[in-house]
Amino acid sequence: MTAAIASFLLALSTNLDNLAVGVTYGLKKLKVGWRANLTIAVLSGISTLVAMSVGDAIEDFLSVQTASHLGGTILMAIGLWGMYTAWQKNRSETPPATKMNLKQAWILGLALTATNFGTGVGAGITELDINLTSALSFGSSLVTIGGGYLLGKQLDIGLSRRQLELLCGLLLTVLGAYNYFALF
């Protein structure tokens, strides 16, 4: 797996919850404007940059093998925890009740990025390209919120946020396992 593919998968997996949010808004025909989407994407890109920088700084004090194992373990743990919490969730979640304004976008964006901080640290330790991964995180956030909203508007049936969170956890677990075993 090349570093670019790993960065893409990380950016996508950490933004699958954004897809679920976008679909939820779209299903209820609650508009997600471009400013709200851009705000969330900027927060996603910045949080990825900060978290990966922290991970990269930690990695400087570790051997390559230890860093790979630690980063892979962190990503696997976050992925497994994500799958566990998604599995435990109540299947009926209530979607937002109003149009998303910029204040709501900031709150939602901060909540979504806070959950990605540990993943970013783990990715920084595994030496993924910080700038590429942050840019992909920004772009994938734009696509998942906007695309999810458009998809949700077109669907007659609801998509399970729980299933998307399980998929996100699985992708992170696989990425972590790859990074853990990449040196062998």
The pLDDT assigned to 1 comes to 58
User: Which pLDDT value is given to residue 46?
Assistant: 92
State pLDDT tens for residues 27-49. 767 788 999 999 999 998 998 89
Specify whether the CB–CB gap between 183 and 65 falls below 8 A: yes
- Give the chain's residues under pLDDT 50: 95-97, 158-159, 184
Over residues 140-170, the pLDDT tens digits come to 999 999 998 898 788 755 446 677 677 767 7
Size of the chain, expressed as the number of residues it contains: 184
Predicted confidence at residue 96, as pLDDT, reads 42
pLDDT of residue 36: 92
End-to-end CA distance of the chain, in Å?
14
- Give the containing element (helix H, strand E) for 135: helix 130-154
Which residue has 């299933």 as its token pair? Answer: 163
Task: Return d(Cα 166, Cα 88) in angstroms, integer.
Answer: 11
